[in-house]
Amino acid sequence: MTRRIGIYPGTFDPITYGHMDIIKRSLTLVDKLIIAVADDMPKTPIFDLSERARLTESDVIEEGLADRVEVKGFSGLLVEFAKAQHATLIIRGLRAVSDFEYEFQLSAINSKLSPEVQTVFLPASEQHQFLASRFVKEAARLGAEVDQFVSAEVAKALKRYYA
Ligand code: ADP
- 22 CB near ligand 1 (under 6 Å): yes
Provide the whole-model pTM.
0.95
- Kindly list the distances between the CA atom of residue 95 and the CA atoms of 53, 106, 128, 148, in Å, as whole numbers in the listed order: 23, 15, 8, 18
Q: In what order do the strands lie in the sheet with 5-10?
A: 69-74, 32-38, 5-10, 89-94, 118-123
In the prediction, which pLDDT does 1 show? 61
Between the CA of 92 and the centroid of ligand 1 the distance, in Å, is 7
In the prediction, which pLDDT does 43 show? 76
- Kindly list the distances between the CA atom of residue 143 and the CA atoms of 157, 158, 159, in Å, as whole numbers in the listed order: 13, 10, 8
* Residue 19 near residue 125 (C-beta atoms within 8 A): no
Nearest to 161 by CA among 37, 47, 40: 47
In the prediction, which pLDDT does 23 show? 98
* Residue 84 near residue 53 (C-beta atoms within 8 A): no
The DSSP call for residue 14 is T
The single residue of 26, 52, 128, 133 carrying the catalytic annotation is 133
* Residue 33 near residue 23 (C-beta atoms within 8 A): yes
In the prediction, which pLDDT does 99 show? 85
Please, what are the averages of pLDDT over each run of 10 residues along the chain (163 residues)?
90 97 97 95 88 98 98 95 96 88 91 92 94 97 97 98 95
Residues paired with residue 69 on neighbouring β-strands, in sequence order = 33
Q: Does the active-site annotation cover 4? A: no
In the prediction, which pLDDT does 122 show? 96
The single residue of 4, 32, 95, 111 carrying the catalytic annotation is 95
Residues paired with residue 8 on neighbouring β-strands, in sequence order = 35
